[in-house]
Structure 1
Amino acid sequence: MKLLMFISLIIIIIIMMLILILNLVSKKTFSDREKSSPFECGFDPKSSARLPFSLQFFLIGVIFLIFDVEITLLFPMIILMKISNIMYMFMIFTFFIFILLLGIYHEWNQGALNWSN
């Protein structure tokens, strides 16, 4: 038993050393202006930081986050349908989808989904 653990430890150490050596050898390091800059948001780091930001892009991002969270709330409902009353779950699910559709209709009416500007 101890011999098996010792052999396993040696194999793990050898594999770790190989991974470390291969990581150092195969590393493609090159530095340019974009890679050395701290910004990763798509803006040019050497220009002014006070450039106007697209409000439509921001609204689409917020809408995506809202509906992404709503989808994560829908998945447990599917699992709960197996153990709960099907009529009760159907009413909750329908009400939930109705609120989502009402929200997207409101966004559409307010013009947040209009990209013509």
Structure 2
Amino acid sequence: MNLQQYLPVLLFVLVGVAVGVLPQLLGWVLGPNRPDAEKNSPYECGFEAFEDARIKFDVRYYLVAILFILFDLEIAFLIPWAVALTDIGLPGFWTGTIFLIDLLVGFVCAWKLGALDWE
């Protein structure tokens, strides 16, 4: 195996790390550091913080967020399928149709179980 084939991957990783770390390092080194009581005070939407920041969230919030991400990602698969529909032919069409039916059944099931209700 030739290790020169991995040189572009190594360069890509190094440039990615440099782009992620270098601005933070420059901001930490060159940025002003003049803390005072007003800057270090908790701030929330223009008001003083009146509760602990570690309050419990309802599980439904996370459930709705997870369902949104799930259905959003599944819908994202439809774009390449629609673009390549003429190239994949009838078997690809039926595979996509089965996928859409499965997506619809999952959505109806989540709806009937009350996972999308917000009270």
Instruction: Bin the TM-score by the shorter chain.
Output: 0.5 to 0.7
Partner in structure 2 of residue 57 of structure 1:
61
Partner in structure 1 of residue 99 of structure 2:
96
> 1:37: how far off?
5.5
Report the residue type matching 2:98 in the other structure. F
Classify the secondary structure of the residue corresponding to 1:84.
helix
Classify the secondary structure of the residue corresponding to 2:57.
coil
Partner in structure 2 of residue 105 of structure 1:
108
> 1:55: how far off?
2.0
In structure 1, how many angstroms separate the alpha carbons of the residues matched to 2:49 and 2:102? 41
* Cα-to-partner distance string for 1:35-94 (whole Å, 9 max, x where unaligned): x8698xxxx866323312022222211111011111211111012212121x21221111
Tell me the TM-score normalized by structure 2: 0.53
Calculate percent identity across the aligned residue pairs: 29
**Please, what is the CA RMSD of the aligned residues?**
3.0
In structure 2, how many angstroms separate the alpha carbons of the residues matched to 1:80 and 1:45? 53
> 1:98: how far off?
0.9
Structure of greater Rg:
1
Change (3 A) 1:79 1:62: same
Alignment of 1:82 with 2:86, yes or no, is yes
Tell me the TM-score normalized by structure 1: 0.54
Classify the secondary structure of the residue corresponding to 1:98.
helix
